[in-house]
């Protein structure tokens, strides 16, 4: 799979959620992790990141959207339950993408949604934990963009 991706959150307030998001981003080989307008206590997220992601994956803690800078060609993908969002299983991931999730008890800001090139929703009945939502998006990216064989017709794994 060529390209790169980053993942982050706007207004995240719980260090454990950012730590889990960072750990999962490291496992899925993200190029960087970011936050925008994170709560002050989130800056200690490295305490909850048991894989020590901050030692191998850059973390950008932007105070405002004006500070957000992505590489040329990178598309910003908002993850939000909006009526007009594309369902994640039907979304074609950009080769170069930065995914942004909303805060634990809220939504992406209108300004952030306006800045997004795409808005995608996970097909759930209600919002789920921010770190879990990030994990699902990263898994879907790897699954849909990787060189995997088609799934077998019958239950179980492929026959060797």
Total domains in the chain come to 1
Name the percent of the chain lying above pLDDT 90: 66
Residue 104, phi then psi, degrees to nearest 5: -60, -40
Residue 153 has pLDDT above 90, yes or no: no
Residue 156 in domain: no
Other CB atoms within 10 Å distance of the CB of residue 65: 15
Report yes or no on 18 lying in a domain.
yes
Residue 87 is predicted with a pLDDT of 97
Q: pLDDT tens-digit profile of 12-50?
A: 998 889 989 999 999 999 999 999 999 887 765 555 556
Tell me whether residue 157 is in a domain. no
Q: What percent of the chain has pLDDT above 70?
A: 92
pTM: 0.92
Domain-located, residue 77 = yes
Question: In this structure, is residue 73 part of a structural domain?
Answer: yes
Residue 105 included in any domain? yes
Three-state DSSP at 79 gives: strand
- Would you place residue 148 in the very low, low, confident or very high pLDDT band (cuts 50, 70, 90)? confident
- Per the domain annotation, does 11 fall within a domain? yes
Flag whether 152 is in a domain.
Answer: no
CATH code where residue 78 lies: 3.40.1280.10
Task: State the average pLDDT over residues 115-136.
Answer: 95
127-146, pLDDT tens digit by residue?
Answer: 899 999 999 999 999 999 98
pLDDT confidence of residue 46: 57
pLDDT tens per residue across span 63-73 = 999 999 999 99
Residue range of the domain that includes 77:
4-145
Query: Which residues lie closer than 8 Å to 23 by C-beta, 6 or more apart?
Result: 49, 50, 51, 53
Our CA angle for 1, 56, 53, nearest 5°, is 95
| CA 50/CA 144 separation, integer angstroms | 28
């Amino acid at each position: 799979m060529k390209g790169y991706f980053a993942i982050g959150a706007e207004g995240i307030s719980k260090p454990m959620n950012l730590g889990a998001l960072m750990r999962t981003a490291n496992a899925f080989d993200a190029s960087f992790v970011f936050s925008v307008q994170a709560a002050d206590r989130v800056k200690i997220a490295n305490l909850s990141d048991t894989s020590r992601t901050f030692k191998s994956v850059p973390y950008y803690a932007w105070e405002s959207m004006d500070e957000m800078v992505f590489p040329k060609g990178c598309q910003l993908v908002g993850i939000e339950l909006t009526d007009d969002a594309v369902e994640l299983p039907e979304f074609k991931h950009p080769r170069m993408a930065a995914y942004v999730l909303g805060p634990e008890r809220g939504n992406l800001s209108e300004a952030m949604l306006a800045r997004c090139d795409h808005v995608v929703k996970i097909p759930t009945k209600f919002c789920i934990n921010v770190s879990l939502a990030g994990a699902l998006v990263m898994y879907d990216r790897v699954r849909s963009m990787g060189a995997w064989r088609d799934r077998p017709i019958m239950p179980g794994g492929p026959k060797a």
